């Protein structure tokens, strides 16, 4: 099957396994408009691929995804139409991942930050390199963690632990992520993709209707639990995108990046 995707994402077929790669390695797989669109629209294309049984999601290079591209996010300060479209598309990413019928294995090969973190933990199995980490730094730049973190983390890990990491934006090392329930297990960096492929092969051999039905029931619970918090989260994130404090912090971050 031919996939209609921008250059920021690739899909490789190996029998019944599809490996989806976030492919902006020079930019640490930061999410720009093309990649954001791809993350929202790849799932229906994968579902239409009749030969696919399991999906592996990973990043090219040394990062899973560094989160939103700073230049793209900064453009929202003076482009409300683009800002609102990014919120709509962000909701679509989460809805499509929850609705997607095939099992998805995240092979988190490096840092998964912001939206990259949300996408990783929305996968059905999260394998993390022992050297990788998760982080959600929305609050640090004056934003509500509305694209999944504030809504989704409390379903997976104790609320008290969620609050500390969401409030501070601190890094969560792989071993801690496993302990908290934000990742399935940590894997030696050199073994990560091989382990993801081994597990994908096992799942591909399972009866597909039983597997899809089991995932549907589990995700029905998640979708129902998330309906209110996600809607509130995206509304709150959109409101903070218009705040003076967010503008100030984002521009300061840009100046800091420019001095490096």
| Longest alpha-carbon distance in the chain | 55
Task: Give the integer Cα–Cα distance in Å for 75 and 65.
Answer: 20
By three-state DSSP, how is residue 120 classified?
A: helix
Average pLDDT score, the chain: 95
| CATH, domain range 9-191 | 3.90.226.10
- Structural contact between residues 8 and 22, judged by C-beta atoms closer than 8 angstroms: yes
For residue 69, what are the CA distances in angstroms to 76, 91, 215?
A: 11, 18, 32
Instruction: Give the percent of the chain with pLDDT over 90.
Output: 89
By three-state DSSP, how is residue 22 classified?
A: strand
- Structural contact between residues 23 and 8, judged by C-beta atoms closer than 8 angstroms: yes
Going by C-alpha positions, the residue among 7, 82, 89 that lies closest to residue 40 is 89
* pTM, to two decimals: 0.96
Task: Residue 45: count other Cβ atoms within 10 Å of its Cβ.
Answer: 18
Where along the chain do its domains lie?
A: 9-191
Task: Residue 260: count other Cβ atoms within 10 Å of its Cβ.
Answer: 4
Residues of the chain with pLDDT under 70: 260
123-180 tens-digit pLDDT: 999 999 999 999 999 999 999 998 878 999 999 999 998 899 999 999 999 999 999 9
């Amino acid at each position: 099957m031919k996939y209609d995707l921008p250059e920021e994402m690739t899909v490789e077929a190996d029998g019944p396994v599809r490996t989806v790669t976030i492919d902006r390695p020079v930019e640490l797989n930061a999410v720009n408009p093309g990649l954001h669109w791809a993350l929202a629209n790849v799932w229906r294309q994968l579902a239409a691929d009749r030969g696919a049984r399991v999906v592996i999601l990973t990043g090219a290079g040394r990062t899973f995804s560094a989160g939103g591209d700073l230049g793209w996010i900064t453009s929202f300060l003076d482009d409300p139409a683009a800002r609102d479209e990014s919120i709509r598309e962000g909701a679509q990413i989460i809805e499509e991942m929850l609705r997607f019928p095939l099992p998805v294995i995240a092979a988190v090969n490096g840092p998964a930050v912001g939206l990259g973190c949300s996408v990783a933990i929305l996968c059905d199995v999260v394998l993390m390199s022992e050297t990788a980490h998760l982080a959600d730094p929305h609050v640090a730049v004056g934003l509500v963690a509305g694209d999944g973190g504030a809504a989704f983390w409390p379903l997976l890990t104790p609320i008290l632990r969620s609050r500390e990491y969401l409030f501070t934006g601190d890094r969560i090392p792989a071993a801690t992520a496993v302990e908290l329930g934000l990742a399935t297990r940590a894997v030696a960096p050199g073994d990560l993709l091989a382990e993801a492929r081994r597990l994908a092969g096992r799942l591909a051999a399972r009866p597909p209707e039983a597997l899809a039905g089991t995932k549907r029931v589990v995700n029905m619970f998640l979708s129902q639990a998330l309906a209110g918090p996600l809607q509130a989260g995206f509304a709150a994130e959109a409101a903070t995108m218009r705040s003076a404090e967010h503008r100030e912090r984002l521009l300061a971050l840009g100046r800091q990046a420019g001095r490096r």
